[in-house]
Structure 1
Amino acid sequence: MAVADVEVEVLIVGGGPVGLAARALLDRWGVRTLLVEKHDGLSPFPRSRLVNVRSMEIFRRIGVAEAITAQAFPPEFGRIRFRDTLRDHDFATAGMVGINAPIPESPALGVITSQDRLEPTLLAAADSPVRFWVELTDLIEAGDGVVGVLTDHRGGGTTRVHARYVLAADGANSTVRQLLGIGTTGPGALGRFTIVVFDADLRRWSADQPAGVYFTARGSFAPLYPEGGWAWVGPSPEQGSDPEWPDLISRSLGPGPEVKVEVLRLQHWVMNAFVAQRFTHGRILLAGDAAHAVPVFGGMGMNAGIADVHNLCWKLAGVLRGWAAPGLLETYEPERHPVAERTLAQAVANTRRAVEVQRRRHDQLQHGSTASEQVELPWTDRFFDQLELILGYAYASDAVLAENTAPASADAALPASAAPALAAGTTPAFSDADPAAPGRRVPHLVAAGRSTLDACGEWFTVLTADPARWRRYAAAQSSTAAYPLRVEPLSVAQAAHCGLGPHGALLVRPDDHIAARFGGPPGDDTLGTALAAVTGH
């Protein structure tokens, strides 16, 4: 059997949303990649359906947010509804914050869409090669890279790929994680479930009360596409049993007029709940479900994976292009592992909360409750309390500098009470936290119709109310050390909101997180010292 050799900078294993997002991000940095996927094409199943507000911010950067929104449901579908059966009235409901209406913390709006609509859009966002039905079967670490052994299930050939780095986004049953012998912590498998994709006319029970998902005692129902189609998700039948799925779906709708159900396809899957003990192994890095598999309640799993690769890809690019030291990649795990742990804990709590709603309703029915009685929701109006988790966390690593890194200066920040009001709709919800502390995502502030997030990109960004002064020092750094660096203006009010004096600045990383904050004007080595420290260069 012929063996071919290929050389790339990054080998991406896994062609789901996380692997495809990594490919698109690295393509914007000009990094040569090869993505391999062991299945024969993109997933035909809807699976992950919620693209949260942080992921949409990242997709704005890639340039695909508008295309994703165009195929998604309108905001009124950003709601969950609990019913005894789909034919009944709601006994509980909650809006998905950041999905059902704009929020002041972000310029983006999350959407409800199906993974089989999302993946083709991400695939089209880059030109680097993708090979389907090609499986990674072995990894061999070399001194200056990794050799991946690939088996082509279509042609039967074998390929050795010489890569500087391997990014594993190959799912909860990750081959890469297993080859490396990396263990996991957490509850593990929570149960076996089945998703059934079907066609039926259910408008009578959904058109006037749209939702992204209807939780019922007989399984969950979800509209798939704006033009039609449905999915049912419920516990898998006992092994050996093979139900008549159209009949099962019809019965699950509840008593009432017969509805014609056409089953199109189905998939059995295991709901996992774990975090990998390590996210890195030499030049091999885990992301997405390979690093952390979380229950579906709250829709955080895929989105956490997209945030993983947004954190990781600029670091890979910096190391491969020479303006960052290899040690920068060592900051990936200490930054993302704690977020994965918190995400898993929240998703498990979400699952318990959803089950609690159904339990309370069951108790009401047992005691003769009428259908109109409401169940008190065991969560706040911020859907499953997740907004702070996806926008409010702060990284702590060597790629984030502690305060007071700039030379001492009398240029203190304005007191908040003395600062003019910010533009309408820009006050963060996390009022008990410093919105521009190093490690946090840069706050969304609007100036001249543009968000501070849109001023950032594939470069380090200096945000300041004194851009002329900082541009002089930035030009010197870009010319001598080849750092990708830009300076963008803030208003004096916005600078004060960020804890800056009129000549201070934020240094924002390419993943929108604040690397350093300088209260006063720069000295000769302020930027150079900070950039060298952040990049380990």
Structure 2
Amino acid sequence: MVSPAAQTGTVSDTEVPVLIVGGGPVGLTARALLGRWGVRSLLVEKYRELSPFPRSRLLNVRSMEIFRQLGIAGRVAAAAFAPEYARVRFRETLGAEDFASAPMLGVHAPVPESPALGAVTSQDRLEPILLGAADTRVRFGAELVDLAEETDHVVASLVDDGTERKVRARYVIAADGANSTVREWLGIDTLGPGAVGSFTTVVFNADLRFENEPGGAYFTTHGSFTPIYPEGGWAWFGPTPAEPRHADWRELVTRALGPGIELPIDVLRVQHWVMNAFVASRFAAGRVLLAGDAVHAIPPIGGLGMNVGLADVHNLCWKLAGVLHGWAGPGLLDSYQAERLPVARETLELAVANSQLVRRVQQQRVERPEAPVEVPWTRRYFAQLGLVLGAAYESDAVLPDGSVAPSAADPVTDYLPTARPGHRLPHQWLAEGRSTLDILGEWFTLLTADLDCWRGRVGGAAPLRVTELTVEQASHYELGPGGAVLVRPDGYVAARWPDAPAGDALRSAISVVTSGAGDQVAVADLTGR
């Protein structure tokens, strides 16, 4: 590929283990996670500052568990709305009464399945916190114009103030959004509906107060409203008019407010955007790995898009760290696509269905304004714990133990905790305010009620910590005397031994999981059965 900046001056190479392209929540979270692993990275963002636009707003419990691990969950929650705002309301206009309402499960109130509570917060409040979560380099105003992969690294060309700079990186994480330049350069196809509509967001100030009927989102027949910050500010979004250059945005928002609200409207910003719906056919090409909207553009209805992107890099970064630090083989990176691509497809299917349902309800209200509107799906709409906490992985980075996955009546809504390999470790309280998820970190974790049984088995290059459970706590993971569960750094169970295995099972399991060659080893050799 020929760089369009070929006529500019060139600065000598910079070398870095990981180059991150894109300074949104996914790229910033990847930077923070790699920093925790001691991996140097350089994040580049073509814009000169963080986005001032509110954009994504919902953080589910899984994302807040990740932020809890990074030590920033408290700061995120402090900048967010109070939990009672985690409710969606349906109205004909903003000033009308609800004709339907539903809480956001795991955000509106705590759930026993997680030590964390989700949050409603604007992206422009989240990003500065993520930026401060690591001290590795960030270069704003640097646009990626070329990528070239060589034998053991990637050469990236960046243009910054008219000067072309070369960066040599062992790996690249592309988190450059739904219109990803990197994805296009790599020739990666996308599957799904594609562009499903053009929309406009209007950010405005008005003295709107709904303390008695708080909500994180108000869906009306004239567009949707969201409060932006706890101290004030609002956004309206809806389909872009046929001639947006001549639109009277103040009049449009006033009409959507309805006759019950007569307030001056101060329009601050207007942004046009395309709602995309797709999943990429591949999540990686050589040494370039893609994450977030670059590989899955999820419609915003249901608040799933940013969250699935955060889970992407939580899955990816420990694997990159293992390869770069030398205790994992490059084959481990193949498990990233194997594990996250199915989740992205399921998430997209749900978000598209939710978008269609919202439009159907709004249309019913327009066509029959006096008739009651039944929305039996509103509980399912935000009851997504099965998808959020119950997503299961099948890859070479997971060693099956022969158990059968629990069967939920609805895998989207119903989360059935299980310590079966390939599932997120179920949360248990170990002590006041301390969860089993809190003992996980930049290491593999072995949980057992019998330390003596496992003390002599610990070893190997990969970082590992052993934590003792009570017999009762171990029973929740279906562990008998001498049994143990091995948990990956991303909180997913890598292997489980219900009882004490024979031989060097632990060291063998970690070696297989980190080599990315799980299909080459018989499960019986590792479980001792």
- The two structures have a TM-score, normalised by structure 1, of 0.90
1:528 to 483, 498, 507: 507
1:395 match:
393
Aligned AA (2:451): P
2:285 to 281, 285, 295: 281
Aligned AA (1:440): H
CA distance in 2, matches of 1:391, 1:312: 17
Residue 142 (structure 2) pairs with residue 164 (structure 1):
no
Query: Quick check: 1:350–1:384 contact (8 Å CA) kept in 2?
Result: no
1:470 match:
454
1:115 match:
123
1:517 match:
496
Query: Quick check: 1:44–1:116 contact (8 Å CA) kept in 2?
Result: yes
CA distance in 1, matches of 2:198, 2:258: 23
Query: Quick check: 2:105–2:382 contact (8 Å CA) kept in 1?
Result: no
Query: Quick check: 1:357–1:378 contact (8 Å CA) kept in 2?
Result: no
1:298 to 293, 302, 315: 302
CA 156–401 in structure 1, closer or farther in 2 if over 3 Å, else same: same
Query: Quick check: 1:319–1:325 contact (8 Å CA) kept in 2?
Result: yes
**What RMSD in Å do the two structures reach over aligned CA positions?**
1.5
CA distance in 2, matches of 1:123, 1:144: 29
In structure 1, runs of 5+ residues without a counterpart are 406-428
Aligned AA (2:58): L
Q: 1:355-504 to 2 correspondence within 5 Å?
A: 355-365=359-369, 368-369=370-371, 373=372, 375-379=373-377, 381-403=379-401, 430=414, 433=416, 435-449=418-432, 450-474=434-458, 477=459, 481-504=460-483
Query: Quick check: 2:390–2:417 contact (8 Å CA) kept in 1?
Result: no
CA distance in 2, matches of 1:438, 1:466: 20
Aligned AA (1:17): P
4+ aligned runs moved over 6 Å, structure 1: none
SS in 2 for 1:269: strand
CA distance in 1, matches of 2:76, 2:140: 23
SS in 1 for 2:14: strand
Residue 331 (structure 2) pairs with residue 344 (structure 1):
no
Aligned residues between the structures:
498
Aligned AA (1:294): I
2:204 match:
198
Residue 135 (structure 2) pairs with residue 151 (structure 1):
no
CA distance in 2, matches of 1:389, 1:339: 8
Query: Quick check: 1:56–1:65 contact (8 Å CA) kept in 2?
Result: yes
SS in 1 for 2:495: strand
CA distance in 1, matches of 2:127, 2:169: 24
Q: CA deviation at 1:524?
A: 4.1
SS in 2 for 1:473: coil
Q: CA deviation at 1:57?
A: 0.1
1:335 to 330, 333, 339: 339
Q: 1:136-285 to 2 correspondence within 5 Å?
A: 136-152=144-160, 155-203=161-209, 206-239=210-243, 241-285=245-289
SS in 1 for 2:379: coil
Q: Percent identity?
A: 61
Aligned AA (2:264): K
Aligned AA (1:445): Q
1:101 match:
109
Per-residue CA distance 1:304-342 (angstroms, 9 max, x = gap)? 000000000000000000000000001000100000000
In structure 2, runs of 5+ residues without a counterpart are 1-8, 404-412, 517-529
SS in 2 for 1:309: helix
Q: CA deviation at 1:264?
A: 1.0
Per-residue CA distance 1:176-234 (angstroms, 9 max, x = gap)? 0011011100000011111111100111xx22100000000111110010100001111
CA distance in 2, matches of 1:120, 1:247: 33
CA distance in 1, matches of 2:385, 2:504: 38
Q: CA deviation at 1:356?
A: 2.3
Aligned AA (1:70): A
CA distance in 1, matches of 2:501, 2:260: 72
Query: Quick check: 1:172–1:293 contact (8 Å CA) kept in 2?
Result: yes
Aligned AA (1:100): H
1:74 to 62, 76, 82: 82
Query: Quick check: 1:4–1:158 contact (8 Å CA) kept in 2?
Result: no
Query: Quick check: 1:17–1:118 contact (8 Å CA) kept in 2?
Result: yes
CA distance in 2, matches of 1:135, 1:345: 33
Q: CA deviation at 1:257?
A: 4.8
